[in-house]
Structure 1
Amino acid sequence: MGHTSGCALLLCALLLACAGLSDGRQLYQAPLTPLQKVQAGYFNNTALFAHMREFASRCSSIARLTQIGKSVKGEPLLVLELSNKPGQEEAKPNFIYIANMHGTEPGGRQLLLTLAEWLCASYPKDATAQRIIDGMHLYLMPTMNPDGYTEDLYENINFVNLNRDFPDPVQRKGKGLTASGKEQPETTAVMNFFLSRPFTAAANMHEGAFVANYPYDGTPSGNTAYNPTPDDGTFRFLARTYASRHVMMANSTEFPGGITNGAAWYPIYGGMQDWTYLSTGTFQITLELWDIKGTAPPRTLWAQNRAPMTQYALWSTLGGLRGSVRRRGTLAPLEARITVGASSTVTRTTKRFGDFYRPLAPSNTPYLVRVAVPALNWTQSFNVTVPYTGRGALLNVIVP
């Protein structure tokens, strides 16, 4: 063999090796990006918590990690807050996604981590990411039931279904919706978190179907029947906001339009969405994101839910009615109560800023909005039209 031929063969072998073709092995593979990593498979609890802590450090300009409690077995219940001013109280709405309430429904774990990574990577170059980060405080709780996930239990480790564990208006029979003291630690932590700040809207991620479910979940009779809230039109709109952007929900043959009233599907009692709505005024819906539990590929989940997740958060917080109530002259914030039409739902202004946020469906017909300041014995009504643009209606009230 001549020198030239030997060099040519050596060069060929080197090129094949570098290409990973000489023996079927890849010599070099670029490391996964954080966004790719959270879509590559499901994290166990140790990896999940470690990733959330690392994310909060890596994306610290827009992220803050909070522990709101512990599970029965002592696992931390962690929540990521995403905002351009994380940890600061501002005149902005609060929104939360909660996942893995049932241990055998893990899809939301990776989905919420993916949403967080996308927001960190996309802000501020993407307009949607920028509007979310700059316009609200977004909270993400990837697992409410870490013990159930580890033990492959639908319930928590005490065999309690956490979506039957909240104080229920039918079960309590006029005794109110405050904690009974018998709730599970995971339930208590979530209840306290909802009561700790004014959440405008929320969604709870489940698996077992493709549908967006809205309150009420139960009926006084216990029979399956449509049981609307006083804000049924707004809830139906919010559910459609998600479902219409989700390919499987939008094309559902089981649920027209991909939405259902909870009690019309099957009644439950002690559910989270009824409690948050009645106790805190939070407009929460339940999302069934995959038909066969525990089998959803994270990449597919993200592809199907990216647009619905971002748009639902925006429309539910900034697409309805928002504004402030202040005193003439000093512009001091006032504690006011806002009600709309015949609905019994009361939206309250914040003490520090006097701001408020109230989900409402767009309509060409004006809503009758009543603003009351009990301390001043002052009430006034306004006609407000909510546009179809997603930008909402603004009502800033100056009280004499």
Structure 2
Amino acid sequence: MLTHLLVVLVISAASCLQSSFVFKHHDNSEVVKELTRIHHECLSITRLYDLNHTSVRGQPLVVIEFSGNPGVHEPLEPEFKYVANMHGDETLGRELLLKLADELCYSFRAGDPETARLIDTTRIHIMPSMNPDGWDAATKAKFDVSSYLTYFTQLTQSTGRENAHGVDLNRDFPDLQRKMHLMLRRSKDSAIHHLFDGDTGRAIQPETQALIEWITSIPFVLSANFHGGALVANYPFDDTNDGSRRQYTPSPDEAVFQQLARVYADNHPQMHLGVSCGFVSDNFTSTGGITNGAAWYKVTGGMQDFNYLASNSLDLTIEVGCEKYPPASELAEEWENNKSPLMEFMWRVHQGIKGFVINALTREPINEAEISVLSGSEGYDLKLPDRAVTTTKLGEFWRILPPGNFTLRVTAAGYETRIIKVRIPEFDKQRGAAREDITLQPKSATGSPKPGVVPTDFSQ
């Protein structure tokens, strides 16, 4: 009788939970208000923060974090991020991420075990708007009659795609691909990872600077940014090797990028069909709704390539719909279309291999050790050298890989190089990434390794 009563109480409590989220185009103050509400409703698993730079017009760049221990990087817990509204007139991604934050909070409070496990094992960062000034301009142009008429009479007026300085933020990042090719011309053995040295080479926008500092200060493993005007999952490289307008330009991680893109496209009811938005170049039927960025059209100075060449993170650009600023009446349906892709893509941060790299003698973590793929599944035998991932100051590494057998090379300054073979199993949410802790012998070291275990109690 008591057990039955407890079950009834649990069901009743869950049924009383109702989200107050309303599908609409939230203005910038309403975005902050919604994120604040979500934070207060899920205080134990969220943190609300803004980046160190505001937009041109002084608006905050707000992020909500979900984690079992908000505000703390826990050892071997991967970091994940979603960013939207980089182009201010592309608004669907902004509303999808706002609803995603609401959904994570609601599902956690309702006791959904899968949501609870995702939050407990992942540090998730969600930024609904990178370009709040652009959103203001786009909304004014769309709904203010006088501005709408002015737009057609003055073609120079921004529609909100750019920021308040009229700069396209997805062309404003340092061109690391050019730097990569200059290095490879000098030596084909050049390391093509973490190419950003802090020098942007020119003045950049505050929104771009904020994202650069964010990307390079947190050890993100996987991320995506959301655009509109097409329906496709786009993966690096975005820029072409020879400067041509369109040329298929694969990265060393071509195989895993294709797989990750398919995770999003295949879970979307229309994207995997290769729906065209009316442009000749938008035919993605043969690829199942995914595309190499440069094969579609070149983008120089984009955030996607910057993520890949400046950090450990694999980043995709998801085009979520033909209409950049869809009617509010369509937002609920678009949420249903994207809910599963958004969730399944987040889970893939746990795909592949992870572990610590440590000193074989002292058992201390090794910072900036490099983990490279020498050989493995089809797609990793490219002309480019592998793009290595590096360890954090805790000695952690994550490497998203498809299933198969791989040969890895692990190097660090002052240590003997190790070659190891690993087997990556099929992805499983319960199992997560394969664990492989790696010890490196200091050069010219004598004696036997000290007994001990891989440290797991570091704090950052």
Deviations 1:72-117 (A, max 9, x none): 0000001111101010121111110000000111112221121111
* Helix, strand or coil at the partner of 1:234: helix
> Mapping of 1:85-234 within 5 angstroms?
85-91=69-75, 92-123=77-108, 125-152=111-138, 153-169=160-176, 174=182, 177=196, 178-223=199-244, 224-234=246-256
Tell me the equivalent position of 1:18: none
Separation (CA, whole Å) in 2 of partners of 1:201 and 1:270: 19
Tell me the equivalent position of 1:361: 402
Deviations 1:205-228 (A, max 9, x none): 001111000000111322211000
Tell me the equivalent position of 1:49: 32
Alpha-carbon contact 2:357-2:437 (below 8 Å) kept: yes
Higher Rg: 1
Change over 3 Å in CA distance of 1:330–1:171 after alignment to 2: closer
Separation (CA, whole Å) in 1 of partners of 2:17 and 2:25: 16
Q: Does 1:258 align with 2:258?
A: no
Unaligned residue ranges in structure 2 (runs of 5+) = 1-15, 139-159, 184-194, 276-282, 376-384, 441-448, 450-460
Q: CA deviation at 1:36?
A: 4.9
Separation (CA, whole Å) in 2 of partners of 1:36 and 1:60: 17
Q: CA deviation at 1:61?
A: 0.5
* Helix, strand or coil at the partner of 2:61: strand
* Count of aligned pairs: 363
Change over 3 Å in CA distance of 1:33–1:77 after alignment to 2: farther
* Helix, strand or coil at the partner of 1:193: helix
TM-score by length of 2: 0.75
Tell me the equivalent position of 2:56: 72
Q: CA deviation at 1:120?
A: 1.2
* Helix, strand or coil at the partner of 2:88: coil
Separation (CA, whole Å) in 2 of partners of 1:221 and 1:345: 20
* Helix, strand or coil at the partner of 1:43: coil
Alpha-carbon contact 2:241-2:249 (below 8 Å) kept: no
Q: Does 1:349 align with 2:381?
A: no
Alpha-carbon contact 1:98-1:141 (below 8 Å) kept: yes
Q: Does 1:239 align with 2:261?
A: yes
Separation (CA, whole Å) in 1 of partners of 2:113 and 2:417: 38
Alpha-carbon contact 1:171-1:269 (below 8 Å) kept: no
Alpha-carbon contact 1:230-1:345 (below 8 Å) kept: yes
Change over 3 Å in CA distance of 1:199–1:242 after alignment to 2: same
Separation (CA, whole Å) in 1 of partners of 2:332 and 2:230: 18
Q: CA deviation at 1:34?
A: 6.6
Q: CA deviation at 1:333?
A: 2.0
Q: CA deviation at 1:171?
A: 5.4
Aligned AA for 2:168? Answer: N
Separation (CA, whole Å) in 1 of partners of 2:241 and 2:38: 45
Alpha-carbon contact 1:132-1:138 (below 8 Å) kept: no
Tell me the equivalent position of 2:352: 320
Alpha-carbon contact 1:361-1:386 (below 8 Å) kept: yes
Q: CA deviation at 1:169?
A: 3.1
TM-score by length of 1: 0.86
Alpha-carbon contact 2:401-2:424 (below 8 Å) kept: yes
Separation (CA, whole Å) in 1 of partners of 2:97 and 2:68: 18
Separation (CA, whole Å) in 1 of partners of 2:242 and 2:73: 42
Q: CA deviation at 1:35?
A: 3.7
* Aligned equivalent of 1:388, options 422, 426, 438: 426
* Aligned equivalent of 1:372, options 379, 389, 411: 411
Instruction: Give aligned-pair identity as a percent.
Output: 38
Q: CA deviation at 1:46?
A: 0.9
Q: Does 1:61 align with 2:44?
A: yes
Aligned AA for 2:403? Answer: P
Alpha-carbon contact 2:79-2:124 (below 8 Å) kept: yes
* Helix, strand or coil at the partner of 2:95: helix
